[in-house]
Amino acid sequence: MKLNYIYEIVLFVVLVLLQTLLLNRISLFGIATPVLYIYFLLKLPVGRNLYYVITAAFVMGLIIDIFLNTPGMNAAATTLVAAFRKNILGLFFEREGYDDFIPGINTAAGPFVRFTIFMVLLHLTLLFFIEAFTLFNLKNTLLRIAASSVVTIPLIIALDSLMFRRKPGEQF
Amino acid sequence: MRNLFNFIIRNSHWLLATLLVAFSFYLVFTHNSYQRSVYLTSANHVTGWFYSLSKDVTSFFHLKKNNQLLLERSAELEKEILVLKDRIDLLTATDSLKVNAFVSDTLPQPQFDFIPAEVVNLSFSGVNNFITINKGSQHGIKPDMGVISAGGVVGVVSVVLPKFSLVIPVINPKFRLSARLKNSENYGSLSWDGTSIGEAQLQELPKHEAFHKGDTVLTSFSRIFPRNLIIGFVSSEGRSKDDNFNTFNIQLATNFYSLQDVLVIDDTYHEEQKMLEETLQR
């Protein structure tokens, strides 16, 4: 259990650095930006305390906001996603008795992919709509959501299959 | 009653989420005036330090290209020096017929001073694009100073901290600049519509202004930039908001993807001009 928290903190820091120093400089065709840090929310154990999940998500969003000069935008989107995480998990995974279960491509490929797609779409939709609150046209916003999802989802799935190559059944 | 308490306790995480989201939105809406939450920006110490560190690594990969640009720039300046030398020779020539008695013997104080700075962070993936530079109030930078690169106009300084400052670039929807076409005296307003990082829009041009691909766009009256700095080149005809004006798309002269070295313009007359204009307004 203790190992779990250390692993989560490392993942948190790595994802923040990756997002701010590398991924946010990428802007494919001017519309698609990979938003990878949501991966942190995907990889928390199913039964993790909700206050912990929501607070961690908020702090992560806020740190990214501070780096990107967009105070509030990432924090709001990420907190909202974290708040609904448990409900969304219920849509794709069997919940009872699996509190320590960490969603992953190796343990449950199908549900994990669907779960990822849903979470990323939700997060990016919130993020880009908050960002575009007053300024830009709907078409451009929708295009950016779609393009960024297309870049982000394969990246998350690839990252997950690279990082967690362990025997089936083995838990972290 | 107990059921009610149970309900509240069971769902109190929603309360936490609501509070945090509300706080986030508070940040979103108050930050529209940039000056307020200065410390929640990439110009603060910690983030600034991080960005300088990563900058040291990445700048290495741009060395060759930037060298090329610097060489071109120095060649240009060299040329200017030659022209100016010629002028000086002409003015100081002993057999000149002109009386130069009233020419002052010191060089005039130049109006513009340039502070070189390095870009430590560029964020332009979203609509809120910013540039962080590694010079701040310690180096004499003040808000509302213009920033240029070897290519052309970059942006305007918005937030200044002791060691870092934040620049709003041309490619930020909040950026506005009065600009004109080189071959005509009509001027319009330069802004960015968020579609492409290499392109801005020159709006509110008179209807009769003809479209010529490749026309140079220069700065016009501005408290921030000297006149006739290059902004970009006309690339295509844009969509106007109404029929009374023309809008052109402008290919920006500054390449924001590889921006590294910038100059901050210190207009020594700025204070005086501002004071004068404010007295008139009163």
DSSP string computed for B99-142: --TTS-SSPPPPSEEEEEEEEEEEE-SSSS-EEEES--GGGT--
Dihedrals φ, ψ of B278, to 5°? Answer: -75, -35
Q: Does the beta carbon of A98 lie under 8 angstroms from any beta carbon of chain B?
A: no
Q: Does the beta carbon of B15 lie under 8 angstroms from any beta carbon of chain A?
A: no
Select from A57, A82, A76, A54 the least CA-distant residue to B16.
A54
A&B contacts, CB < 8 Å = 106
Residues B52 and B119 in one domain: no
Instruction: Assess if residue B280 is contained within a domain.
Output: no
Residues B119 and B196 in one domain: yes
Chain B closest-CA separation from residue A102 CA (Å): 21
pLDDT digits (tens, 9 = 90+) for B163-174: 888 898 888 888
Instruction: Assess if residue B39 is contained within a domain.
Output: yes
Token couple for A118: 């849903």
Per the listing, tokens 């005296």 go with B185
Give the count of domains, chain B. 2
Residues B27 and B126 in one domain: no
Spatial separation of the C-alpha atoms in residues B49 and B230, rounded to whole Å: 32
Q: Any idea what the CATH number is for the domain that residue B205 is in?
A: 2.40.10.340
Considering only CB atoms, A54 lies closest to which of B17, B23, B173, namely: B17
Considering only CB atoms, B47 lies closest to which of A67, A70, A133, namely: A67
Residues of chain B with pLDDT under 70: 31-46, 75, 93-110, 124-127, 241-242
Residues B18 and B137 in one domain: no
pLDDT for A123 equals 92
Do residue A131 and residue B24 have CB atoms under 8 angstroms apart?
no
Instruction: Assess if residue B83 is contained within a domain.
Output: no
Spatial separation of the C-alpha atoms in residues B274 and B210, rounded to whole Å: 35
Instruction: List CB contacts (< 8 A) between B195 and chain A.
Output: 30, 140
Q: Does the beta carbon of B19 lie under 8 angstroms from any beta carbon of chain A?
A: no
Residues B50 and B162 in one domain: no
DSSP state of B214: T
Mutation target to probe the A interface, by most A beta carbons within 10 A, among B10, B18, B28 is B28
Residue type, B132: T
pLDDT for B228 equals 80
pLDDT for B85 equals 77
Considering only CB atoms, B173 lies closest to which of A54, A82, A135, namely: A135
Residues B118 and B252 in one domain: yes
Q: Is A48 exposed, middle or buried (0-12, 13-18, 19+ CB in 10 A)?
A: middle
Considering only CB atoms, B28 lies closest to which of A54, A68, A76, namely: A76
Instruction: Assess if residue B248 is contained within a domain.
Output: yes
Residues B47 and B122 in one domain: no
Instruction: List CB contacts (< 8 A) between A69 and chain B.
Output: 41-42, 123, 128, 130, 166
Q: What is the pLDDT along chain A (172 residues), one digit of tens a residue?
A: 567 788 888 889 999 888 888 887 777 777 788 888 998 888 888 878 888 889 999 999 989 888 887 778 889 899 999 988 888 888 887 766 666 777 777 777 788 888 889 999 999 998 888 877 655 567 778 888 899 999 999 999 888 888 766 544 444 4
Q: Does the beta carbon of A11 lie under 8 angstroms from any beta carbon of chain B?
A: no
The residue length of chain A stands at 172
Instruction: Assess if residue B236 is contained within a domain.
Output: yes
Residue A45 near residue A102 (C-beta atoms within 8 A): yes
Chain B closest-CA separation from residue A18 CA (Å): 11
Residues B30 and B157 in one domain: no
pLDDT for A122 equals 92
Residue type, B266: D
Q: Kind of pairing, strands B153-160 and B165-169?
A: antiparallel
Residues B234 and B120 in one domain: yes
Instruction: Assess if residue B273 is contained within a domain.
Output: no
Q: Please, what's the b/e burial string for B156-185 (b: 16 or more CB within 10 A of its CB; e: otherwise)?
A: bbbbbbebbbbbbbbbbbebebebbbeeee
Select from B116, B140, B118, B121 the least CA-distant residue to B131.
B121
CA distances from B9 to A53, A88, A90 (A): 17, 21, 20
Which residues is B99 bridged to in the sheet?
none
pLDDT for A96 equals 61
DSSP state of A18: I
Considering only CB atoms, B123 lies closest to which of A50, A69, A73, namely: A69
What's the whole-model pTM score? 0.62
Instruction: List CB contacts (< 8 A) between A20 and chain B.
Output: 50
pLDDT for B97 equals 58
Q: Does the beta carbon of B42 lie under 8 angstroms from any beta carbon of chain A?
A: yes
CB-based contacts of B170: which residues, under 8 Å, 6+ apart? B153, B154, B155, B177, B190, B192, B200, B231, B252, B254
Residues B48 and B164 in one domain: no
Residue type, A136: F
Residues B33 and B155 in one domain: no
Say whether B233 sits in a helix, a strand or coil: strand
Instruction: List CB contacts (< 8 A) between B127 and chain A.
Output: 131-132, 135-136
pLDDT for B34 equals 44
Q: Which domain holds residue B20?
A: 2-56
Instruction: Assess if residue B8 is contained within a domain.
Output: yes
Contacts 24+ apart (CB under 8 A), B255-258: B255/B151, B255/B198, B256/B122, B256/B124, B256/B169, B256/B171, B256/B197, B256/B198, B257/B197, B258/B62, B258/B65, B258/B66
Instruction: Assess if residue B64 is contained within a domain.
Output: no
